[in-house]
Structure 1
Amino acid sequence: MLEYLDEFIIIALAHFFAVASPGPDFAIVLKQSVQQGRKNALYTSAGVGLGIFVHVSYCLLGVALVLSQSPELFNAFKYLAGAYLAYMGIQALRSAKQTDAQQAIQEESPEESNFKALRRGFLVNALNPKATLFFLSLFTLMIDPETPQQVQIFYGVYMALATWIWFSVLSVILSKNSVRRFFHRAGHWFDRGIGVILILLALRVVV
């Protein structure tokens, strides 16, 4: 394993900068942290981490090569991802200012299920073309074709765990009561802002 240490360090650094850059994953974890709280955001973060395995799997199976050689297939994937992001953005834009009574009802209503939070995080990452492009370049340019598949699987597991830990830490910070109170004061404006960001990301994905 030590002979692949240099390759691993390069991959770890590239992954860190990729996961730390603002994108759909960050936007959805921020939204869930503020709106639903820490537990929901942690499950969303776990879903984002699980989504990494989708990208790693198709790269190991050779589908990455097919995607890189087939613009039509990759464009279809981009449009699907863009439509999903746009849908979430439009839903957020429709947010209206709540009255005190509505806010009280919402606080008393049951929390969103853990599975739904996990699924949301998973879909956002798995359908993220930015992540697809990153893993395409990673497995076709940065990882030596001679690197054993077991080592490549280790790289994938590391990136999934690192992604989960990164967004879990963000969830803990963003779901603090002081942070949530700050965003709740803006309420519907915060939702609309996230909606605009998601729609812009969708347009960026497609264009």
Structure 2
Amino acid sequence: MELSIVLAFAVACVVISVVPGPDMMFIMANGIARGRRTGVVAAAGMSTGMLGHTVAAALGLGALLQAAPVALEAVRIAGAVFLVYMAITTLRSAKDVARTAPARFGERSLRRTFAMATLVNLSNPKVVFFYLAFFPQFVTEGGWPVPVQFLVMGGVLIVVGFSVDATVGLVSGTLSKLLLSRPAIQRWLNRVSAAIFGGLAVRLVADR
């Protein structure tokens, strides 16, 4: 795999990563509702999900899922359930602003955010189709085996994506922190976050 191809792929990853999508909205919602640390943790969870997709693509599991529509539907429903759960819990937290303060948002909640972000990414079947459609355009014949090329490209995508997503998490978390002194605004921020989670759930179910 030539360096020029890797660089071209990296540039494409930057363009793709800066375009707002469901993952970025999920990270932004967490940052707004819970602060900078949670926004970055959500970004790390999304990157972990991408790692799972990368390994699956390298092993050829993406093509297998594409050939099994029932499996993809199950994945889609699971993702929607996770997002509805996030919407409900965030909406409930809007009723108790003190509970949403970063100082009281402990490691257990951060671990839960990481796990939920990972599961949301893994349960998005559109990511499977993205790998199947996008990666083969940069695969070269000869040289490295195709699974190795997939792993390299996946690594580049994860590094670029995490850099962008972590920045989004930090910015949205900083905005939340600046407004924490005004409980009424913080309650509305939580409601906006809950609406984003709910909207993503609807989109995941309806967008085919």
Same fold (TM over 0.5): yes
Given candidates 112, 117, 130, the residue that maps to 1:121 is: 117
Give ranges in structure 2 of 5+ residues lacking alignment: none
Task: Give yes or no for contact 1:51–1:125 (8 Å, CA) kept in 2.
Answer: yes
Once the 2 structures are TM-superposed, how far is the Cα of residue 106 of structure 1 from its aligned partner?
A: 4.7
**Mapped pair 1:34 → 2:32:** yes
Aligned residue number for residue 191 of structure 1 = 190
Deviation at 1:88, TM superposition (A): 1.2
**Cα 1:128–1:17 shift into 2, 3 Å:** farther
TM-score (norm 2): 0.79
Tell whether 2:178 aligns with 1:181.
Answer: yes
TM-score (norm 1): 0.79
> What is the aligned length?
200
1:122-157 Cα distance to aligned partner (Å, 9 max, x none): 222222333233123224x52437462322211111
Give the equivalent residue in structure 2 for 1:111: 106
Question: Mapping of 1:18-167 within 5 angstroms?
Answer: 18-98=16-96, 103=98, 106=101, 109=104, 111-113=106-108, 114-139=110-135, 141-144=136-139, 146=141, 148=145, 149-167=147-165
Range that drifts further, 192-201 or 50-59: 192-201
Deviation for aligned residue 1:12: 3.1
The answer on whether the counterparts of 1:68 and 1:136 sit within 8 Å (CA) in structure 2 is no
Q: CA deviation at 1:14?
A: 4.1
Is 18-27 or 52-61 further displaced after alignment? 18-27
Q: Aligned partners of 2:179 and 2:104: how far apart in 1? A: 21
1:50 CA displacement? 1.4
The answer for unaligned runs of 5 or more in structure 1 is none
Note if contact 1:23-1:201 (Cα within 8 Å) is conserved in structure 2.
no
Query: What letter corresponds to residue 56 of structure 1 in structure 2?
Result: T
- The answer to whether the Cα contact below 8 Å between 1:89 and 1:198 also exists between their aligned partners in 2 is yes
- Alpha-carbon separation, structure 2, partners of 1:192 and 1:80: 23
Q: What percent of counterpart residues are identical? A: 23
